[in-house]
């Protein structure tokens, strides 16, 4: 926003679409694979490999640690406890999300939807706070990208099924270099309204 790339609903929509089909697809695939019982440590390493920016890796693990605390308090499951023990400072958030969904008895597609939606709802609410965008316009953007969220969730589940047989290399590795670069620039700011 500070760089002037997002100035209103139209540019927010373009940004959301880009994030959804790159970082969103990768997160949704990781989460879906975790629901299907793929080894979470292998998924965590795959998430690292798909996250070049150190700032984003740190943020992803912080969010994973926070989600882990909430998930353990809500749905006690041996696999969650084991992951918390193996990653005391946090596993990547989509992996924890998938395991939490598994603990809650949800399907792979449910976790994929959560991750895909999260990839667009975060920027939309940030725009309401930082740009004072009309919240109804932001909601409209989310409604318009909803059909694409459907398709990304489906693609993520297909990828996750391939991972069950073919290993984590079958995960998509779509990336958005500008997201990675701006995360590094943002981490160096002295005054930040958001931690990531």
Partner 1 sequence: MHLEHHHDGPGAVSADARRPDGARRALRIGLGGPVGSGKTATVAALCRALRDELSLAVVTNDIYTREDAEFLLREAVLPPERITAVETGACPHTAIRDDISANLEAVEDLEDEVGPLDLILVESGGDNLTATFSKGLVDAQIFVIDVAGGDDIPRKGGPGVTTADLLVVNKTDLAPYVGSDLERMAADAKAQRAELPVVFQSLRSEAGVADVAGWVRAQLAAWTA
Binding site for partner 1 (CB under 8 A): 62, 65-66, 69-70, 72-73, 81, 84-85, 88, 190-195
Residue 60: which residues within 8 A CB-CB, separation 6 or more? 47, 51, 92, 93, 94
Closest distance to partner 1 from the beta carbon of 95 (Å): 15
Closest distance to partner 1 from the beta carbon of 29 (Å): 25
Closest distance to partner 1 from the beta carbon of 51 (Å): 20
**Rounded Cα–Cα distance for residues 136 and 6 (Å):** 17
Q: Which is nearer to partner 1, 151 or 192 (CB)?
A: 192
| DSSP-assigned states of every residue in 23-84 | IIHHHHHHHHHHHTT--HHHHHHHHHHT---HHHHHHHHHHHHHHHHHHHHHS--HHHHHHH
Q: Which is nearer to partner 1, 90 or 172 (CB)?
A: 90
Is 171 in contact with 50 (CB distance < 8 Å)? yes
Q: Which is nearer to partner 1, 88 or 105 (CB)?
A: 88
Q: Which is nearer to partner 1, 64 or 172 (CB)?
A: 64
Closest distance to partner 1 from the beta carbon of 160 (Å): 25
Q: Which helix (H) or strand (E) holds 130?
A: helix 108-130
């Amino acid at each position: 926003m500070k760089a002037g790339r997002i100035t209103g609903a139209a540019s927010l929509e373009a940004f959301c679409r880009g994030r959804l089909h790159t970082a969103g697809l990768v997160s949704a695939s990781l989460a879906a694979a975790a629901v299907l019982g793929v080894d979470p440590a292998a998924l965590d390493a795959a998430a690292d490999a798909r996250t070049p920016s150190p700032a984003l890796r740190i943020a992803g693990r912080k969010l994973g640690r926070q989600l882990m605390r909430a998930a353990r308090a809500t749905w006690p499951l041996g696999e969650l406890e084991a992951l918390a023990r193996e990653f005391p400072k946090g596993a990547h958030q989509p992996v924890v999300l998938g395991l939490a969904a598994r603990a809650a008895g949800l399907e792979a597609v449910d976790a994929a939807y959560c991750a895909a939606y999260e990839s667009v709802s975060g920027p939309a609410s940030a725009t309401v706070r930082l740009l004072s965008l009309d919240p109804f316009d932001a909601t409209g953007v989310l409604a318009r990208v909803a059909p694409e969220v459907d398709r990304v969730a489906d693609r993520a589940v297909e990828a996750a099924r391939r991972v069950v047989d073919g290993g984590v290399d079958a995960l998509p590795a779509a990336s958005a270099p500008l997201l990675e670069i701006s995360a590094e620039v943002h981490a160096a700011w002295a005054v930040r309204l958001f931690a990531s």
